[in-house]
Structure 1
Amino acid sequence: MIELIIFDLDGTLVDSCEDITQALNYCLEKSGISGFSKDEVKKMVGEGVNRLIEKALQARGVNFPSQKLIDCFVNYYREHITDFSRAYPEVKETLEELKNIKKVVISNKLTELSFKTLENLGLLKYFDFVAGSDLFSERKPSAVPIIETVKRFYTTPDKTLVVGDSELDIIAGKQAEVKTVAVTYGYREREVLKEADFIIDKFSELLKIVREL
C-alpha cells in the first residue's frame, strides 16, 4: 500500500515552460544574447536555474557572467511566475482523489518559487511538504531528496511512489529504491522515460497504479 507520493513540479503537475522561456529570454536579450524558442527551452529545463543558464550560454557560445543572468532570471520569474503557467488536465481532480495519501513536491527549482507556483495555481493545499533544490545537499538525479523525504514521513521506499516527467526523476527514484511513474505529456520524449516502472499518458491514470500497489 502506498503511503507517500513524491511529485516533480514542472512538466508533471504544471506546464510552466512559457513563463520560464519568457524569463530566460528577457534576461538574455537584455544582455545582448539571442533567446530561445519554447521547444528549445523544454529540452534544457529540469536541473534548476543555474544549469538552465549554463546550458543557454553554452548553446550560444557566449562567455558571460552566469550569476548576473541567474539573479535576473530569479527576480523576473518571481514576478511573472504564473502569467502563463497552468496545472495539467485532471491534476486537481486526481490530487483530490488521493487525499488520504501523503503527497510531496520535490523540485529542482528553488523552494520559494515552487511554493509560489503551487499557491498561485490553487495546488498548494493538496501537499504536505514542498521542497526545492535549496533544501537538500544534492538535487535530482541524486536520490538524497527522496531518501530524506521518505525518512521525514516515517515510511519506507516500498510504500513510496515517485512521479515525474524526466530521466532525473526516474534515476533518483531508482537509486532510492522506490517505484517510479513517468508522465509522457511533460518536457521529455517518451524514449528517455522507458526505465520507469510505470508510464502514463494522463495524470488521472495514476489512480489505477496507486490502487493496485
Structure 2
Amino acid sequence: MTLLYLVSMVKLIIFDLDGTLIDSAQDITNAINYSIKDTGLPFLNNEQTIQLVGEGISRLIEKLLPPAFLEHRDEILSRFLEYYSSHLVDNTKPYPFVKDTLDNLKTFTKAVISNKRECLSKEILQRLDLLEYFDTVLGGDSTEERKPSPVPIVYLLNKLSISPEMTVMAGDSNIDIKAAINAGIRSIGVTYGYKPEESLKDADFLIDDIRKLEYVVHKLL
C-alpha cells in the first residue's frame, strides 16, 4: 500500500497521551517521590521516571518497588494518587505545536488512548485546554485490557463505527506500536517523546516533530 493511498483513507487519528501530546514527567516524578518519602527508598529524577512510565500507574508502582516493599504497594499507590490528583498540571505542558497541529487536523476524528486512568487523562486534557479536540478519551481502566492489547483500540473503533483501515495511531513507545499492530491499524512513532527511537522500529512512520503528523495524514490528500 502506498503512502498516498494510506493517507487518503484516514478518518481517525488515535493519540497516546504522556510522551506524545504532553510532557508530564516532572509531575509524575514529584508524585512518586511523595509516595515513597517515608520508605527510605531513593528519590527518582525525571530520567528514571521516564523508564517506568507507559503501562499505567499501578504497574509503575510495581516496577518502582523492590520485592521487600511490594507488601506496601497499595499504600504507596494510594499516596501517589493522593498527591498526583492534586498536582496534575503543576509542570505538565503540551509539547510544542500540539495545539496548532490539532487545530489543523480538525477535519479528522481524533481520540486519546492512554494507559493512565481515564479520569486523570480527561482532567489533564481539560486543564490544558486540549479536551475539546477529542471525540473520545480512553484510559487504562476504560476497558478490560490496556495497551499493548488491541482491546482499547477495537473498542474505540466499534464505538465510532470506523474501520481499522481508516485509522492510524501516534505514540512514543513500543507499547503504542504493538497495540496498533495487534489491532490491525497503522502506526506513527514520535521520536521526540520518552522512549528511544529504536523502540519504535516497527512503526509504519516516524516523525520527530508533531507538525509532521499533518504531512502524513493530511498534506498528501
User: Share of identical aligned residues, percent?
Assistant: 44
**Residue in 2 aligned with 1:161?**
168
Q: Which amino acid aligns with 1:57?
A: L
**Residue in 1 aligned with 2:134?**
127
**Residue in 2 aligned with 1:107?**
114
Structure 1 segments of 4+ aligned residues over 6 angstroms from their partners: none
SS in structure 2 of the partner of residue 135 of structure 1: coil
For the 8 Å contact 1:7–1:105, the answer to whether it is kept is: yes
Alignment gaps of 5+ in structure 1: none
**Residue in 2 aligned with 1:23?**
31
For the 8 Å contact 2:169–2:180, the answer to whether it is kept is: yes
For the 8 Å contact 2:20–2:170, the answer to whether it is kept is: yes
SS in structure 2 of the partner of residue 180 of structure 1: strand
Residues in 1 aligned to 2:88 and 2:71: alpha-carbon distance in whole angstroms: 25
SS in structure 2 of the partner of residue 30 of structure 1: coil
How many residues were matched structurally?
Answer: 212
Query: 1:1-150, aligned counterparts within 5 Å?
Result: 1-58=9-66, 62-150=69-157
Alignment gaps of 5+ in structure 2: 1-8
Q: Which amino acid aligns with 2:87?
A: H
- 1:64 to partner: Cα distance: 3.9
Residues in 1 aligned to 2:50 and 2:68: alpha-carbon distance in whole angstroms: 19
Residues in 2 aligned to 1:78 and 1:131: alpha-carbon distance in whole angstroms: 18
For the 8 Å contact 2:16–2:114, the answer to whether it is kept is: yes
Residues in 2 aligned to 1:124 and 1:203: alpha-carbon distance in whole angstroms: 17
- 1:74 to partner: Cα distance: 1.0
- After superposition, the C-alpha distances for 1:109-147 in whole angstroms (9 at most, x for unaligned) are 111100011011110110111111111000001010001
SS in structure 1 of the partner of residue 35 of structure 2: helix
Q: Give the stretch that moved more between structures: 170-179 or 61-70.
A: 61-70
Residues in 2 aligned to 1:72 and 1:7: alpha-carbon distance in whole angstroms: 28
- After superposition, the C-alpha distances for 1:22-79 in whole angstroms (9 at most, x for unaligned) are 0001111133322211101101100001111011103x86444101111111111010
CA 61–42 in structure 1, closer or farther in 2 if over 3 Å, else same: farther
Residues in 1 aligned to 2:211 and 2:72: alpha-carbon distance in whole angstroms: 43
Q: Give the stretch that moved more between structures: 47-56 or 23-32.
A: 23-32
Residues in 2 aligned to 1:149 and 1:203: alpha-carbon distance in whole angstroms: 23
Q: Which amino acid aligns with 1:2?
A: V
Residues in 1 aligned to 2:172 and 2:154: alpha-carbon distance in whole angstroms: 19
TM-score normalized with structure 1 length: 0.96
Which of 198, 213, 217 matches 1:206? Answer: 213
